[in-house]
Chain A
Amino acid sequence: MNTQINFAGIKMKNPVTVASGTFGYGREYSEIFDLSKLGAVITKGTSYKPKMGNKNPRVCETTAGMLNAIGLENPGVDYFIENDLPFLKKFDTAIIVNAFGGTGGTIQDYVNVCEVLNKLDIDGVELNLSCPNVKAGCLAYGTTYEGVKEITTAVRKVLTSKPLIIKLTPNITDITIPAKAAEDAGADAISLINTLTAMKIDINTRKPILANNTGGLSGPAIKPVAVRMVYQASKAVKIPVMGLGGIMNGDDAIEFMLAGASCISIGAGNFVDPLCSIKTIEGIENYMKKYNIEDINEIIGGVQMN
């Protein structure tokens, strides 16, 4: 039975990764399980310089999911190189660094961090064009063909030696538009979906729970939207797709892969069950046994439409 995949040149022992922003830089969850079991670790969104993030409250629970408005707090790429990269290198798993433009959020800010990442001993870069919780960058580029193309082109010029994954936002009418823009600008893969912009109001105080007022919705509540978008995006482009959005177990993972994802990410599921990613790997293997699937690659995009 083969669970290995080659995702845009990134070799993974299985198609299960952990989503950016839900796993820090791996340290916390490494106390609970061996990170070497994962296909890849995708780091917290990292910028050229440290970023402070939003005020508290930053998270709240919703029906079958949660909202967050962290605001991309991170210690900056130099800190990552000094402290977190050597730690992650101790594990036999692919390292994908999620990168964004920092407080400024200009194209040059994105280029600056990617120039640094290009020289590191990492397996790939995921570019965040989709965070709904910051004032500058991200969504400003992520929702139009031109925006995605412009920034992907600029980053591609400096990110010459690593696979480039563009992370897309679902806060858009037609997901195939940014997907094609990423492909046209030379990205190696796309990942989707990031969170859906959402709000929760405390009816007693009549104020939104989150200090940022709005936040990103994640968890099983968004899964059907994510599956639909993964299907549409994977049909629209030839580059591979990483699927995420509310995956809690092997069955959910298989559903995304049938929709067209070559690999998947566990996000909010890590909070609910720190072993969610490990159980998802087991669940995928159980599905393969049940249906006599020799190679996990066989099922990618295998949905049979009515």
Chain B
Amino acid sequence: MPTKLVQAELVKKQKLITNIFKFSIFSKELVSCAKPGQFLEIRVSNDLVPFLRRPISIHSIDKENNIIEFIFQVKGKGTEILSSKQIGDNIDILGPLGNGTFDLKDYKNVAVIGGGIGVFPLYELVKSSPKDVETNTYLGFRNKELVTLENEFKEASSYFILTTDDGSYGENGFAIDYLKKDIEKKNIEAIYACGPMPMLKAVKKLSEETKIPAYLSLEKLMGCGVGACLGCNVMNVKKGSYDKVCKDGPVFLAEDVEI
């Protein structure tokens, strides 16, 4: 899968909620080979601070219009600089990155579970799934104020549940508990997950108990993003050696990795 280094134009910028931005980028090169679950390494400034690129997951791929989108939360100086980019600016992007993607394979009935800002990378998988695939989506947020992309996911999914930890919106509780309730009666064949570590651990446990394969998108501090520096290692328990989250992932089969 060829990695490209591009200067691509920011054509649309939306503030979804406080501190969360959606960027639409025009790039035929990136769109031509991007897959659900992959990520981009973005250089936010030519200055030496912040130094490294920011790994940010792909949210959506529009092949017709050559638009690739990503959504990010402003957390530090790097994402703050990125959020200040204006429409028409060129963004320095290395990508699309990662060989471990959200791949539907031949599954016809899948569960998609996302938590917080982890819901963004799952959208393309749901959106691009063929009509004959049942997508059962479970999204969890801390509270009503943090809910994003409800309508987009609802529209793209066959079945949709939204939860908040404090019950301030949607169903009360954790998304994983609703998935657990449904998993057998719905005959789920595979689970796709992205979100905070406690959620990923719960999904891995559920996968072990039910023998239903789960695909987890992992996040680690990264250096290069392309597999050269070996900074983002995760233990592959099947191989007994480290995999690279950036190159072998970021999506892994839950039973393969120690998290």
Contact = CB atoms under 8 A, between A and B. Distances in A.
A282 to B, nearest CB: 16
A271 B49 contact: no
Contact of A73 (B3, B52, B222, B230): B230
Interface stretch (A64-72, A138-146, A186-194, A234-242): A64-72
Given A28-B224, A59-B221, A275-B5, A68 B231 contact: yes
A28 B230 contact: no
Interface in A39-71: 44, 50, 52-53, 55-66, 68, 70
A52 B241 CA distance: 7
Contact of B48 (A24, A52, A64): A64
B170 interface: no
A32 B5 contact: yes
B242 A73 contact: yes
Interface range for A: 35 or more
Do most interface residues of chain B lie in helix, strand or loop, or is the interface mixed? Answer: loop
Which of B51, B53, B221 has the most chain A CB within a 10 Å cutoff?
B51
Interface string A247-290: 01000000000000000000010111111000000000000000
Given A56-B232, A66-B52, A270 B224 contact: yes
B197 interface: no
A14 B227 CA distance: 26
A22 interface: yes
Contact of B52 (A29, A44, A271): A271
A23 B226 CA distance: 10
A21 interface: yes
B2 interface: yes
A28 B231 contact: no
Contact of A273 (B43, B223, B228, B232): B43
A68 B51 CA distance: 14
A56 B233 CA distance: 6
B241 A271 contact: no
A61 B52 contact: yes
Contacts of A50: 241
B216 to A, nearest CB: 15
Interface in B177-199: none
A93 B49 CA distance: 32
Contacts of B241: 50, 52
A2 B53 CA distance: 34
B3 A64 contact: no
Interface in B201-242: 220-234, 241-242
Contact of A61 (B3, B51, B227): B51
A65 B51 contact: yes
Nearest to A271: B224
Given A24-B227, A56-B232, A271 B242 contact: no
A102 interface: no
Nearest to B94: A274
Interface string B47-81: 01111110000000000000000000000000000
A66 B48 contact: no
Nearest to B228: A24
B94 to A, nearest CB: 6
A220 interface: yes
A195 B50 CA distance: 19
A55 B231 CA distance: 10
A44 B223 CA distance: 15
A163 interface: no
A31 interface: yes
A219 interface: yes
B228 A70 contact: no
Given A24-B228, A56-B232, A68 B223 contact: yes
Contacts of B5: 32, 274-275
A28 B228 CA distance: 6
Given A53-B233, A58-B230, A60-B221, 18 more contacts: A21-B229, A22-B228, A22-B229, A28-B224, A28-B227, A28-B247, A52-B242, A57-B221, A57-B231, A58-B221, A58-B232, A59-B222, A70-B231, A73-B233, A219-B51, A270-B224, A271-B53, A271-B223
Interface of A: 21-24, 27-29, 31-32, 44, 50, 52-53, 55-66, 68, 70, 73, 209, 219-220, 248, 268, 270-275
25 contacts: A22-B224, A23-B228, A28-B227, A31-B226, A32-B4, A50-B241, A52-B242, A53-B230, A56-B221, A56-B234, A58-B232, A59-B232, A61-B50, A61-B52, A64-B48, A64-B49, A66-B223, A68-B229, A70-B229, A70-B230, A70-B231, A73-B233, A271-B228, A271-B229, A273-B43
Across the A-B interface, the 10 shortest Cβ-Cβ residue pairs: A59-B231, A24-B228, A64-B48, A28-B226, A271-B224, A59-B223, A28-B228, A31-B3, A58-B231, A28-B227
